[in-house]
Amino acid sequence: MADALFWMDGYQASDAVESFDTLEPLTRTLDEREFWAVVGSYEGDWQVVRFARVESRQHLAPDANPIVNKKLQWESTFTREQYKSYVDEVREEIRRGWVYQVNACRLLESESQINLRHLFQEIQLGHPAPASAYFKNDRFEIASASPETFFRVESSSNARSITASPIKGTSRDGKFEEKDSAENVMIVDLMRNDISPLCELGSVEVPRLLGVEEHPGLFHLVSDVRGNLKASVTFEEILTRLSPAGSITGAPKSSAREVISRFEPYRGIYCGTLGWIHGGRAHFSVAIRTFFKDFLRTPSKTYFGTGAGITWGSDAEREWNETELKAERLMKIASGTV
């Protein structure tokens, strides 16, 4: 635990004093002087760490003995044809009325020796992302270039608000299809449903719908769903209610997760969340565009996930190409070819 390290939003946290593998410490009202880092996998494995030392750093402090990452070898959990079959099966479930949308993903796996701390520094320089984060303890090491905010909590003297910012829709040139817009609106409705029980009656709104954001190498459609939190709501309730994010499951969430479980036995940190809680505020990301190691499961492997949202209007070949697009730039950064 002494070697635990966290960076996000200019906060670098070290000197861990408490560590938990459940959300239990977040069931109480937290001291605003405390700094907590929270990591959750797609499957619901949690790491909650309270740090004694927090400093302001624009970038993560460099590793004293970095290993240069090069000549990395990656294998996909699905071949092109297997992934296309997955897409076709999702479309069949949509035809049957079991789901409306499913986020179909695959993992890239590498047995190469990869220094994720050094890789995260390369990401900060070559692929800056608004929800990027680094975390390491004895369970996980994570280097995330996530563009997606799962949720933010803001606090004033007499109220707290929560804003979720789901991303659905990806393109190389900023031009989107009708399918992208429909997918985004569907997930906005899901997030409104997820957030509403946490919020004051009538306070949930959508201040931004189908906003276009430019990120390194691609564009996204992003919406915001906002509400005023009930005074009694804890961070444990927020994370339990909202996780995993609707943007990386599908709709309805329970049906989408059932379909995903047939094809994807493990996502790990990919499509989970990373975040911090401090001073009555919080920021959590959706862990996409993320490299990670799971030391308890497969200590020798590094993973990177990529996926696409599947609707009835999806074309299997195009969805495979979208997973390639999302991975392309970060794979090049990892191999030192950007």
The phi and psi torsions of 205 (rounded to 5 degrees) equal: -145, 170
SS3 of residue 94 by DSSP? helix
CB 36 within 8 A of CB 279: no
Q: How many CB atoms lie within 10 A of CB 51?
A: 23
Task: Please list the residues that pair with 139 across neighbouring strands.
Answer: none
SS3 of residue 287 by DSSP? coil
| Residue 218 one-letter amino acid | L
Per DSSP, the residues of 261-279 read HHH-S--TTTTSEEEEEET
How many residues belong to the chain? Answer: 338
CB 182 within 8 A of CB 168: no
How does DSSP classify residue 145? -
CB 326 within 8 A of CB 289: yes
User: Which tokens sit at 74?
Assistant: 């990656």
Give the separation between CA 124 and CA 118, rounded to whole angstroms.
10
Catalytic residues: 148, 168
Give the separation between CA 96 and CA 125, rounded to whole angstroms.
46
CB 298 within 8 A of CB 28: no
Give the separation between CA 116 and CA 124, rounded to whole angstroms.
12
CB 103 within 8 A of CB 260: yes
